[in-house]
A and B are shown apart, each in its own frame.
Chain A
């Protein structure tokens, strides 16, 4: 089993790597110091499980989880954090995290959590497991979409169609899949994406996906 560790604190990356490699047959293939790096390393190394901290610079753990799960749904993400905040737990699970444990976890529990997550079991640390965190998601009204964003000091408005397409890009769909979902030509999808990228002063669809998550566009 291949594991990637994402944590901005070097001491913790080292400790987790040592604990995992000395106490199991699991291989730590790489360490990342922020969510963006973790996402990029997932593309290159395709780990089985990512141990993901939440509070990290550039791109935090919940944002990175959403990106990883949208592009590489087979990679499991196990959140390992010091935060027992219900908002973080909820956000992480909503973004596709396969498990959530605290950094106070012991060696045996850590190894067991990684293995269980790899096998498809959702692991939640007992100190953060509160039924209300998981209750009523389906009944919750969908929050209104944010269709206005300030880019380099200028307010930019996005249409509903543009927001639909951004959402699908974040989900990892290609132009063909988007065109089929929206019943429009592939060329139209391409043109709309070019317009969005230009409006937001971005370079490509990956930047667009990161931008959309960071700015809560979807």
Chain B
């Protein structure tokens, strides 16, 4: 059965010129890093420290853009725009909730892609 990943991980692997095993290590690192950022975001959301939230979102935006995790990148762009106009708590919470969900879904997709290639990636 053909497996279709919504991210162009093979294309990105070709661009980098790296074998999929090395790509898996990079993506494993990426998952850990974003997970850490999101954990911090959950804590910071309670205190509504906008500067910290901006920085966390900026970090996620940069990595997701560079590693072609496009839905995560688009969600972080939305948050970045919302933070520019200083949105209310509810909207901010909802935007970050979507970011958490998008990330969880992205992780599943990335794991499934590498599993299909016979590579188990650690989280």
Interface residues of A (CB under 8 A from B): 9, 11-12, 14-16, 18-19, 22-23, 53, 55, 81-85, 102-104, 106-107
Contacts and interface: CB of A to CB of B under 8 A. Distances in A.
Looking at chain B's contact residues, is the secondary structure mostly helix, strand, loop, or mixed? helix
Contact of A11 (B16, B29, B61, B84): B29
Nearest to B14: A107
Interface string B28-67: 0110010000000000000000000001001101110111
B15 A12 contact: no
A82 B55 CA distance: 11
B101 interface: no
A83 B58 contact: yes
A7 to B, nearest CB: 8
A190 to B, nearest CB: 41
B62 A15 contact: no
Contacts of B29: 11
A19 B16 CA distance: 5
Given A22-B16, A23-B15, A15 B55 contact: no
A14 B33 CA distance: 14
Contacts of B100: none
B58 A15 contact: no
7 contacts: A11-B63, A12-B63, A18-B18, A22-B17, A103-B65, A103-B66, A107-B15
Q: Which of B18, B55, B61 gathers the greatest number of chain A CB atoms within 10 Å?
A: B61
Interface residues on B, range: 20 to 34
A17 B73 CA distance: 21
Contacts of A9: 33, 59, 62-63
Contacts of A55: 55, 58-59
A33 B80 CA distance: 23
Contacts of B16: 15, 18-19, 22
B35 to A, nearest CB: 13
B26 interface: yes
Given A103-B65, A103-B66, A104-B65, A11 B33 contact: yes
Q: Which of A11, A16, A104, A106 gathers the greatest number of chain B CB atoms within 10 Å?
A: A11
B58 A12 contact: no
B65 A102 contact: yes
Contacts of A102: 65
A18 B65 contact: no
Contacts of B58: 55, 82-83
A79 B58 CA distance: 15
A107 B55 CA distance: 25
Contacts of B61: 82, 103
Contact of A18 (B17, B30, B73): B17
B62 A85 contact: no
B64 to A, nearest CB: 9
A126 B62 CA distance: 17
